[in-house]
Amino acid sequence: MHPSSVEIRRAGADDWAAVAALRSAAAQPAADGGEQDEPTWRTECARHTYVVAWSGADPIGLVGSSQAGDGSVALFGLWVAPAARRAGIGRRLLDEALAVAAGWGAPLVQLWVSPANEAALSLYRTAGFAPTGARQRMPGQPEEEILLAWHAPPPPLAPLYEVLRRRRDVRGEFSGAPLDDAVLGRVLAAAHGAPSVGLSQPWDFVVVEDRRLREAFREHVHNERAVFAHSLEEGARGRFAGIKIEGILEASCGVVVTYDPERGAPAVLGRHAIADAGLYSVCLAIENLWLAATAEGWGVGWVSFYREAFLADLVGLPVRLRPVAWLCLGPVRSLATVPDLERHGWRARRPLRDALHRDRWEGERPWAG
Ligand SMILES: Cc1cc2nc3c(=O)[nH]c(=O)nc-3n(C[C@H](O)[C@H](O)[C@H](O)COP(=O)(O)O)c2cc1C
């Protein structure tokens, strides 16, 4: 076996037999226990992400990872077949597992290792892992393990107020460049870190890259555009005709952000009197996503010219979920300084002072200007 002929790939559910064989060669039963049969290993491969090293059709190494609710990732079971050792395969498995973690926007990756396993310790150290000081002894294990941690390098960030000022709704400026999974992971992690009523986190994100799905959605949006145009008076219809309302195909992907009213229900703390508080939470996730994307040099375009039933069906949402937004997302060539609708004379922005009230709606303006 020559190292350059070894392929490192993320395992899907259909790779369950390779994962099972490697875990059993490494004397590691399925983490979730139960019978070590096909259904158990298929569940295992769906619940955890395994990266497998292949020499032709032979699986020769693997590492597993799983993400916790706080966004951190735990790596486990890194193992390379004895005949394939000392060829850098462990490092390649580790690098791919770290790329998976970066794709999830994980700020922290941790793993347990025996301090007596010097080869593993040295591999982890050179990949940037450091001891945390935590130790554990698992039941039935002869020796203690130590916890190592790897921290994702912080991305260079623009100051917050600068990002708030630069954010724009984007339609025509998408570059269409391929998605960088690490950036996408950070942007989605920022969205997932939004505040939510009762900590219900009622959102999900369906990332849509499939061209045919996007074309079908765009066609539907254009029909709805025509419905809206038909409702306008002649002058407004003329102005609307010159306004682009979506960048569905130009963007690198779409993100359908959904609302699950049943998440955490019925006792959602803080929603008993205001049912919409769940939807407000989803909108905050969208705003976090929008700002994080702007900080990364990406753009977002919110598309709401659709019927919910159409979009829910298009991306196969369970019945209880509502699609709150289709967001066009991806790198941009530039961001406009003036909103498109203002540039096209559709509406101008209100000055802040017109939106401010003192004590009561009709109170005197708090700041003269
Ligand atoms: C809930 C919501 C729905 C929107 N739907 C659309 C849309 O369907 N098409 C579109 O071009 N822009 C849409 N927008 C973007 C707004 O037109 C845009 O935010 C507004 O004109 C201000 O521009 P700015 O975001 O660049 O500051 C939507 C924005 C929000 C918040």
Task: Write the pLDDT tens digit of every residue in 77-110.
Answer: 999 999 999 999 999 999 999 999 988 889 899 9
Place of tokens 């395969």: 89
d(CA 24, CA 37): 12
* Res 274 pLDDT > 60: yes
The per-residue pLDDT for 353 is 84
Find out whether the beta carbon of 170 lies less than 6 Å from any atom of ligand 1: no
Helix (H) or strand (E) holding 20: helix 16-25
Find out whether the beta carbon of 190 lies less than 6 Å from any atom of ligand 1: no
The mean pLDDT value for 338-362 works out to: 91
The per-residue pLDDT for 4 is 75
The per-residue pLDDT for 85 is 92
* Res 115 pLDDT > 90: yes
The mean pLDDT value for 120-127 works out to: 95
In our burial notation (b when 16+ CB lie closer than 10 A, e otherwise), range 227-252 reads eeeeeeeeeeeeebeeeebbbbebbb
The per-residue pLDDT for 251 is 98
Interval between CA 339 and ligand 1 midpoint (Å): 9
- Condensed to tens digits (0 to 9), the pLDDT of residues 217-229 reads 999 999 999 999 9
Closest alpha carbon to 65 in 74, 57, 53, 56: 74
Closest alpha carbon to 145 in 124, 116, 110: 116
The per-residue pLDDT for 34 is 58
- With cut-offs at 50, 70 and 90, classify the pLDDT of residue 155: confident
Q: Closest Cα to atom 11, ligand 1: which residue? A: 245
| Single-letter amino acid, residue 234 | E
- Condensed to tens digits (0 to 9), the pLDDT of residues 38-71 reads 888 898 888 899 999 999 999 999 999 999 998 8
Residues contacting 188, CB < 8 A, separation 6+: 105, 205, 207, 255, 289
The per-residue pLDDT for 31 is 58
The mean pLDDT value for 139-164 works out to: 88
| Single-letter amino acid, residue 229 | A
The per-residue pLDDT for 32 is 57
Find out whether the beta carbon of 310 lies less than 6 Å from any atom of ligand 1: no
Find out whether the beta carbon of 336 lies less than 6 Å from any atom of ligand 1: no
* Res 336 pLDDT > 60: yes
**Residue % of the chain over a pLDDT of 90:** 79
Q: What are the chain's domains?
A: 3-151 (3.40.630.30), 160-355 (3.40.109.10)
d(CA 168, CA 340): 9
Interval between CA 90 and ligand 1 midpoint (Å): 48
* Paired tokens of 252: 């690198």
Find out whether the beta carbon of 171 lies less than 6 Å from any atom of ligand 1: yes
The per-residue pLDDT for 363 is 67
* Res 366 pLDDT > 70: no
Give the angle 48-54-56 at the CA atoms, nearest 5°.
Answer: 145
The mean pLDDT value for 125-152 works out to: 91
The mean pLDDT value for 350-367 works out to: 80
CA gyration radius, the chain: 25
* Res 131 pLDDT > 90: yes
Interval between CA 302 and ligand 1 midpoint (Å): 6
The mean pLDDT value for 339-355 works out to: 93
- Condensed to tens digits (0 to 9), the pLDDT of residues 243-268 reads 999 999 999 999 999 999 999 999 99
d(CA 324, CA 256): 7
Q: Is 93 in contact with 99 (CB distance < 8 Å)?
A: no
The per-residue pLDDT for 33 is 56
User: What torsion, rounded to 10 degrees, do the Cα atoms 111, 112, 115, 119 define?
Assistant: -50
Find out whether the beta carbon of 341 lies less than 6 Å from any atom of ligand 1: yes
| Single-letter amino acid, residue 191 | A
Average pLDDT, the chain: 93
Find out whether the beta carbon of 240 lies less than 6 Å from any atom of ligand 1: no
Q: Prior bond to 266 cis, omega within 30? A: yes
d(CA 48, CA 266): 29
